[in-house]
């Protein structure tokens, strides 16, 4: 029998499209089980400041399609300290909040895991980041939308690449992971893809450029965390070595984090939101709800934080075969 009466919900770390759909799902699932819900604004920063708002069903109307997060998000240095977490605990107790759902990435889960080991308030996590870099879930909320955003942007850039016979180096996000670059690269037919998970791609890129003969329009997708360098840096090296190429650079940046979530991200967020509330009612703590083979799974925070998620490197061969 669950003792939980009031659930706090927060978004933490970088925003991702679909976070609002997840907030909506948590609120409505909790209300369905006769639990009260409190929104914690600005992630752990708001938890420390006591920036809380009650959430009713109508408060999450008309948000499933909106990017960003209605609760706001933040990165909080203070939550990394024991004193900060003690303040946060005092505020949760003061508002009779006896369980929390945190929507964020591995940093947010690290904070939640630490907090739950120190204080008697259970946390369940929902994976929300465009990077898709969390072990224990096939997809994170926001990744699919970011892929579609990148593909749309690259399609547009390719028009100019073709019209002017140019080589574009396009840098995409992903922090230390290459999921966005690899999957969007295949989806938009990139000629080469540079990702952090593979060494020695500089040579492969040179081999490709030397072998490609007179193909003059190229899209090279560069994951921001790759080992060769940022798009600007690689482009300037290539310009020196191959002066005949008309080289341009595009860093897509934060446009990848915004916009209305895709159908898949809304669906994923809705399922994970319901699963997170179910998990809390089932007395689970310090776990992430994930989505593996189209089913809900529970993964301990420790496991998702300490295990790196494998990227399928065979997909680089797929990209390579299709680029020639």
The residues annotated with a catalytic role in the active site are 131
* CB of 108 or CB of 218, closer to ligand ADP: 108
What is the C-alpha separation between 302 and 112, in angstroms, rounded? 11
Q: What is the full DSSP assignment across 252-317? A: -GGGGG-SPPPHHHHHHHHHHHHHHHHHHHTT--SEEEEEETTEEEEEEHHHHHHSPPPP-THHHH
- Quote the least distance from Cβ 13 to ligand F6P, whole Å: 7
The only residue of 107, 229, 230, 259 in contact with ligand ADP, by rule CB under 6 A: 107
Segment (H or E) for 117: helix 106-118
- Quote the least distance from Cβ 133 to ligand F6P, whole Å: 8
* CB of 173 or CB of 274, closer to ligand F6P: 173
- Quote the least distance from Cβ 124 to ligand ADP, whole Å: 15
Q: Determine, following the binding rule CB under 6 A, whether residue 217 of this chain makes contact with ligand ADP.
A: no
Q: How far is CA 94 from the centre of its chain?
A: 32
Q: Segment near ligand ADP (CB under 6 A), from 62-70, 104-112, 222-230, 285-293?
A: 104-112
The only residue of 111, 125, 174, 290 in contact with ligand ADP, by rule CB under 6 A: 111
- Quote the least distance from Cβ 197 to ligand F6P, whole Å: 15
Residues numbered 112 to 151 that lie near ligand ADP (CB under 6 A) are 114, 129
79 interface partner picked from ligand F6P, ligand ADP, none, CB below 5 to 8 A per type: ligand ADP
87 interface partner picked from ligand ADP, ligand F6P, none, CB below 5 to 8 A per type: none
Question: What SS3 class is residue 36?
Answer: strand
- Give how far Cα 21 sits from Cα of 2, 74, 124, 137, Å: 25, 18, 17, 18
111 interface partner picked from ligand F6P, ligand ADP, none, CB below 5 to 8 A per type: ligand ADP
Q: List the beta bridge partners of residue 101.
A: 9, 124
Residues at the contact surface with ligand F6P, assessed by CB under 6 A: 14, 105, 129-131, 173-175, 224, 257
The only residue of 79, 89, 123, 301 in contact with ligand ADP, by rule CB under 6 A: 79
What is the C-alpha separation between 67 and 69, in angstroms, rounded? 7
Asked if 64 contacts 23 with a C-beta cutoff of 8 angstroms, the reply is no
Q: Segment near ligand ADP (CB under 6 A), from 91-99, 108-116, 143-151, 233-241?
A: 108-116
| Pick from 40, 57, 58: nearest CA to 49 | 40
Could you tell me which residues come within 8 angstroms of residue 61 by beta carbon, excluding any fewer than 6 positions away? none
């Amino acid at each position: 029998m669950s003792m939980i009466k009031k659930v706090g919900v927060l978004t933490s770390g970088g925003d991702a499209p679909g976070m609002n759909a997840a907030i909506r799902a948590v609120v409505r699932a909790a209300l369905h089980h006769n639990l009260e819900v409190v929104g914690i604004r600005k992630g752990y920063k708001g938890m420390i400041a006591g920036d809380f708002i009650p959430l009713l069903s109508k408060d999450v109307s008309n948000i499933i399609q909106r990017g960003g997060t209605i609760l706001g998000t933040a990165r909080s240095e203070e939550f990394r300290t024991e004193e900060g977490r003690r303040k946060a605990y005092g505020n949760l107790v003061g508002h009779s909040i006896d369980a929390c759902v945190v929507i964020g990435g591995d940093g947010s889960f690290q904070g939640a895991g630490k907090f739950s080991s120190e204080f008697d308030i259970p946390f369940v996590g929902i994976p929300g980041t465009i990077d898709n870099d969390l072990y224990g879930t096939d997809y994170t909320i926001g990744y699919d939308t970011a892929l579609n955003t990148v593909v749309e942007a690259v399609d547009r850039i390719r028009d100019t690449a073709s019209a002017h016979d140019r080589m574009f180096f396009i840098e995409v996000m992903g922090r230390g992971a290459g999921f966005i670059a690899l999957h969007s690269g295949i989806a938009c037919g990139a000629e080469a893809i540079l990702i952090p998970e593979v060494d020695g791609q500089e040579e492969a890129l040179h081999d490709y450029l030397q072998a490609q003969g007179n193909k003059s329009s190229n899209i090279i997708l560069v994951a921001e965390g790759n080992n060769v360098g940022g798009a600007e840096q690689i482009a300037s090296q290539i310009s020196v070595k191959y002066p005949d190429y008309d080289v341009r650079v595009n860093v897509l940046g934060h446009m990848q984090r915004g916009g209305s979530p895709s159908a898949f991200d809304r669906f994923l967020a809705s399922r994970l939101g319901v699963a997170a509330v179910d998990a809390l009612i089932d007395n689970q703590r310090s776990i992430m709800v994930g989505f593996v083979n189209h089913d809900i799974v529970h993964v301990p925070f420790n496991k998702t934080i300490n295990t790196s998620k494998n990227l399928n490197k065979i997909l680089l061969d797929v990209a390579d075969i299709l680029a020639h």
